[in-house]
Amino acid sequence: MADTELHDFAGEEKRSVELGGHVGFDSLPDQLVSKCVAQGFCFNILCVGETGIGKSTLMNTLFNTKFENEEASHYENEVLLRAHTYDLKESNVNLKLSVVQTQGFGDQINREASFKPILDYIDAQFEVYLEEELKIKRSLSNFHDTRIHICLYFIAPNGHSLKSLDLVTMKKLDSKVNLIPVIAKADTVSRSELDKLKIKIMSELVSNGVQLYQFPTEDEAVAELNSAMNTHLPFAVVGSVDDVKVGNKMVKARLYPWGSVQVENENHCDFVKLREMLLRVNMEDLRDQTHARHYELYRRCKLEEMGFKDVDPESKSFSLQETYEAKRKEFILELKRKEEEMRQMFVNKVKETEAELKEKEKELHERFEHLKRVHQEEKKNLEEKRRELEEEMNAFNRRKVAADTLMGQALQGSQNPFKKDKDKKNFFSLPSACSLTSGRNMN
């Protein structure tokens, strides 16, 4: 019933009435301006380009100051993104500026994935903002918004066209961030070559479907200016923080033996056009486009991945509670299904392991029986050999005893004749024996 009344009220025709006098809500824009000025603003710039192409110098020139910059190396193993945040103040307006620069971009031999760290960084900032937005207790008014509002893609002035790395990277970035290409160090090429390079770059970008940020033309106050600036893309820029005396005044310029290149001279480069479009005319539109277009696209895709949608298949009104309950049930069912799969997988794995163990046990038992039989056979053979050896030893001992006996008898038989002869010789050699013999003879 309440939903029907709400739909009826929403479909009611709006009526315009005239006020009888001054009410005071015409001061609402002034209130909004005062509130925004008190809160301050944030602006985040991503600079993508090769090492040494002039990213830091251009940032210093844009904001007429010298930011702290680390010395970049050409020997990085991967693309690194370094973010630095500064608090700036101009008149009574406070600006929290974040400058994110790529280190090592284009320095690797394999540049196939050079754009991936940049995309991951942009998505990470969207994710941080989405997490804050989905909190029960959130504070977006005091939240430091780190979403990238503008990406300045620095193109090297050498060559006659874009590199394949430039085309691929800009194609990947155009759906995630406001993209503006700039030709860096434009003072290194002649005016005619620069014009040809601009035409060639834009032709390649259009033919490859790269969507650049277009300065808005809806506001009549800046429509003509923005429409004209859209035809000057890409901007050919020169950066310098050095003050050079030209005539009777000091200007930002680069001094050469043949003369000077003035940064703010539109006949020398497009720096003034870039600064005008980026900071003085379209800064708020860049912030709005980031939130309303790029962040909303990321948010929608993320919520759709989570299962949220505006209407159900029957085109009924969307209910967050019902969607949450449905996703919760779906998640529980999916969890149970995966749990059952894991359990079944575990059971199968256990069965496979048991079968393997039984097979191994069988093999080990057969091997043990085989070794047992071999051992018994060897033991039997050894017993037979031992018995044969004992028989041989007994026979040998018997033969030895017999031989010793025979030898003893032979030796005894050979010693007896010699003993009798010796006894006889001893008897006849005695004196008494001789006298006895003589006496017997006399008688």
Residue whose token pair is 């006849």: 428
Does residue 427 carry a pLDDT above 80?
A: no
What distance lies between CA 208 and its chain's CA centroid?
28
- Per-residue pLDDT tens over the stretch 51-74: 888 888 888 888 888 887 777 666
pLDDT band at residue 149 under the 50/70/90 scheme: very high
- Rounded-to-integer distance, Cα 263 and Cα 241, Å: 9
What is the pLDDT at residue 177?
92
Task: Please provide residue 58's backbone torsions phi and psi, each rounded to the nearest 5 degrees.
Answer: -65, -40
Token pair recorded at residue 345: 């997988």
pLDDT tens readout for residues 282-306 = 889 999 999 999 999 999 888 888 7
Q: Which residues contact 251 (CB under 8 A, 6 or more apart)?
A: 243, 244, 245, 262, 263, 264, 265
* Torsion on CA atoms 104, 107, 111, 116, rounded to nearest 10: 10
The per-residue pLDDT for 188 is 85
Q: 415 pLDDT band (50/70/90 cuts)?
A: low
pLDDT of the residue at 326 = 76
Are the beta carbons of 248 and 260 closer than 8 angstroms? no
Asked whether the predicted pLDDT for residue 194 surpasses 60, the reply is yes
User: What are 99's strand-pairing partners?
Assistant: 45, 84
Question: Helices 191-207 and 164-173, interaxial angle, to 10°?
Answer: 50
Q: Examine the pLDDT at 45 and tell me if it is beyond 90.
A: yes
Task: Report the candidate in 79, 150, 153, 84 with the shortest Cα–Cα distance to residue 118.
Answer: 79
Residue 18 phi, psi dihedral angles, 5° rounding: -100, 145
pLDDT confidence of residue 310: 65
Q: How far is CA 418 from CA 425, 428, 429, in A?
A: 11, 16, 17
- pLDDT average, residue stretch 226-252: 84
Q: 88: alpha, beta or left, given left = phi > 0 and alpha = psi -120 to 50?
A: beta
Omega within 30 of 0 (cis) for the link into 234 = yes
pLDDT band at 367 (very low <50, low <70, confident <90, very high): very high
Tell me the pLDDT band of 433, cut-offs 50, 70 and 90. very low
Average pLDDT, the chain: 82
Q: Is residue 114 within 8 Å of 103, Cβ to Cβ?
A: no
* Contact status, residue 184 vs residue 53, Cβ threshold 8 Å: yes
Which whole-number Å values give the CA distances from 380 to 285, 366, 369, 390, 394, in the listed order? 102, 21, 16, 15, 21
| pLDDT at 4 exceeding the cut of 60 | no
| Amino acid residing at 230 | N
Question: Quick one: 279 exposed, middle or buried, by C-beta within 10 A (0-12, 13-18, 19+)?
Answer: middle
440 contact partners, CB below 8 Å, separation of at least 6: none
Rounded Cα distance, 392 and 396, in Å? 6
- Which of 314-328 are b and which e, b meaning 16 or more Cβ less than 10 Å from the residue's Cβ? eeeeeeeeebeeeee
DSSP 188: G
pLDDT at 426 over 90: no
Q: List the structure tokens of 139.
A: 């504070």
Give the per-residue pLDDT at 443. 41
Which position has the higher pLDDT, 8 or 275? 275
- pTM, two decimals, is 0.68
